[in-house]
Amino acid sequence: MNGLKVGDIVVRKSYGSDVYFKIVDIITKGGGKSVYILKGLFYRIEADSDGEDLVKQDSRKASIDIEKNVRGAKNNMYRKEALSTLASRAGMSLFQRLSLMPGRVLHIDADEEFLNMCLKHYKEHRIPAIGKLAKESEQPAIVRGLLAKYRPNIVVMTGHDSLKKNADKNDINSYKNSKYFIEAARVARSFEPDPDKLCIFSGACQTFFEKVMENGANFASSPGRVLINALDPAFVSQKIALTDHRTVVTPEKVAELTISGSKGIGGIKTKGQLRSRYPLFGYR
């Protein structure tokens, strides 16, 4: 008996102990063998593992490491975005700057801690946002109703996902939750066909990127089947919400603000959602 229990922080030896996970469930299979269900603490990955592959970690040290990574990710994004924002608003009057209205975000997440982290980020940047907690499997069924109720400019549908080790990346059955992110994107796009009126982000770690994009997303993860950061979906939303609606944002510009980069986030050219409360005063 290894003594591991739900709530413990662990790493996987077979993957070089590179990612912190929390044990969220323990399933007993035939012969009394235990399978541990894991969710990433900093990355949007879900996995399962034998107990023999897991090493328990000190939760305090893990929290410090994760907080350090979050600060580093935000500082990197702030530096890059600050230069872009200053350049775009050069020459604007104080009145014009105060009248700006960022795009509205509806953020649907399967992870409560990650959802709160993203909502805090939106608040720091004065981006109006509604957060809803829903399992990946529930998101396709609820997104249309939420879009009708809140009428956002940007919708994020995310949580956890993973690609089986050494599996065929072109087979939907190789992925943990990609089928739900694909369907959620399809439903959202059927609600609003114009990609410049509703910007859709869908996906998590290692998600089947091409299929999500085929079903109507503006941005999705993960072109390189890599892990994406907990805040990456919020960074995508921020870029669109704070970019002038007459300006086109390229996927390259979005990817450079994220932690996972172009291997983690891809998409199409998309117009921003920043407008003015008083368009007659020279900023529409």
- For the chain, which residues make up each domain, given as ranges? 9-57, 66-276
What was the pLDDT predicted at 86? Answer: 41
Sign of CA dihedral 102, 107, 111, 116: positive
Residues forming a β-bridge with 261: none
Report d(CA 93, CA 80) in Å as an integer: 23
User: What is the CATH topology of the domain spanning 66-276?
Assistant: Rossmann fold (3.40.50)
What was the pLDDT predicted at 18? Answer: 82
CA 80 to chain centre: 19
DSSP letter, residue 170:
T
What was the pLDDT predicted at 154? Answer: 98
Q: Count Cβ atoms within 10 A of the Cβ of residue 137 and give its class: 0-12 exposed, 13-18 middle, 19 or more buried.
A: middle
Which pLDDT tens digits describe the chain residue by residue (284 residues)? 578 999 999 999 988 888 899 999 999 887 778 899 999 988 999 888 988 999 999 888 877 877 777 666 666 655 555 445 544 554 444 445 556 789 999 999 999 999 999 999 999 999 999 999 999 999 999 999 999 999 999 999 999 999 998 899 999 999 999 999 999 999 999 999 999 999 999 999 999 999 999 999 999 999 999 999 999 999 999 999 999 999 999 999 999 889 889 999 999 999 999 987 655 444 44
Q: What would the two tokens of residue 70 be?
A: 């979050």
